């Protein structure tokens, strides 16, 4: 019995240690800022990420549409639904909310890419009245600066008191999740450097 408890405690400690090291690594190699402003029923999101990876690695993560759900919490599925040669359409399904308040999210978005530079999304279906979003990538010394801007109008009611907090939380989870994936992919190739050049807000 004692040995079983000891083994279980060891497993829990190992998991906590791994999680701690992951967050330490993220803090050391990335700077993240997120701001959300509400305008009537719409939310404007402005997020900035400065991360110590090559621009190509950052691009490959952001455009890996069929695998986004494997590393972004809250996203159940993400897949390209357009045929080759057609305008790019991506369907995503997930869940948003906080504590007792949960709501399913479904988005069908038309995507435009400027290789290694910009990814633009415009919702054409789903349960958001409107969503326009853009990722913008730029080289910054030995790091990559990633800017995310979005204008989101939910097609459902978000409680006024916690709506901005929910949108801000979802945006931060998404940004930090793609940042960790960028660092993970950069590690084997040695394209992650030891420190971030400057705070993301500068």
pLDDT digits (tens, 9 = 90+) for 110-143: 999 999 999 999 999 998 888 999 999 999 888 9
Query: What are the angstrom distances between the C-alpha of 57 and each of 120, 146, 178, 192?
Result: 18, 12, 11, 9
Q: What digits encode the pLDDT tens for the residues 67-81?
A: 999 999 999 999 999
Burial class (CB within 10 angstroms; exposed 0-12, middle 13-18, buried 19+) of 106: middle
What's the number of CA atoms in the CB half-sphere (13 Å) around residue 158? Answer: 25
Inform me whether the pLDDT recorded for 24 exceeds 70. no
- Mean pLDDT, the chain, integer: 81
* DSSP H/E element including 151: strand 143-154
The tokens for 72 are 């972004």
What is the predicted pLDDT for the residue at 158? 73
Alpha helices in 30-50 (DSSP H): none
Helix (H) and strand (E) counts in the chain: 3, 8
What is the predicted pLDDT for the residue at 27? 57
Tell me how crowded residue 25 is: count the other CB atoms within 10 A of its CB.
Answer: 15
What is the predicted pLDDT for the residue at 116? 96
CA 51 – CA 144 distance, rounded (Å):
5
CA 53 – CA 3 distance, rounded (Å):
43
Inform me whether the pLDDT recorded for 172 exceeds 80. yes
Inform me whether the pLDDT recorded for 101 exceeds 80. no
Alpha helices in the chain (DSSP H): 2-29, 55-62, 163-186
Q: Which residue has the higher pLDDT, 40 or 14?
A: 40
Task: Kindly give the pairing relationship between strand 101-114 and strand 88-98.
Answer: antiparallel
Nearest Cα residue to 36 out of 179, 165, 147, 177: 165
What's the number of CA atoms in the CB half-sphere (13 Å) around residue 102? Answer: 6
Q: Percent of the chain having pLDDT more than 70?
A: 74
Task: Let me know: does 126 contact 107? Beta carbons within 8 Å.
Answer: yes
Nearest Cα residue to 178 out of 146, 202, 132, 150: 146
């Amino acid at each position: 019995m004692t040995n079983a408890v000891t083994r279980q405690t060891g497993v829990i400690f190992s998991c906590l240690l791994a999680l701690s090291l992951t967050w330490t690594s993220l803090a050391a190699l990335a700077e993240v800022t997120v701001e959300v402003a509400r305008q009537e029923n719409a939310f404007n999101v402005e997020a900035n990420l400065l991360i110590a990876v090559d621009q190509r690695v950052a691009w490959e993560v952001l455009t890996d549409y069929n695998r986004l759900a494997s590393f972004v919490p809250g996203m159940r599925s993400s897949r390209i639904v357009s045929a080759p040669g057609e305008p790019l359409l991506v369907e995503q399904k997930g869940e948003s909310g906080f504590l007792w308040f949960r709501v399913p999210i479904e988005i069908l978005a038309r995507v435009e890419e400027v290789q290694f530079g910009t990814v633009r999304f415009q919702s054409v279906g789903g349960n958001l009245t409107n969503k326009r979003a853009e990722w913008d990538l730029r080289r910054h010394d030995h790091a990559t600066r990633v800017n995310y801007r979005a204008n989101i109008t939910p097609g459902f009611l978000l409680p006024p008191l916690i709506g901005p907090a929910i949108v801000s939380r979802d945006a931060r989870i998404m940004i930090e999740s793609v940042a960790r994936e960028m660092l993970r992919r950069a590690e084997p190739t040695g394209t992650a450097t030891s420190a971030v050049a400057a705070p993301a807000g500068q």
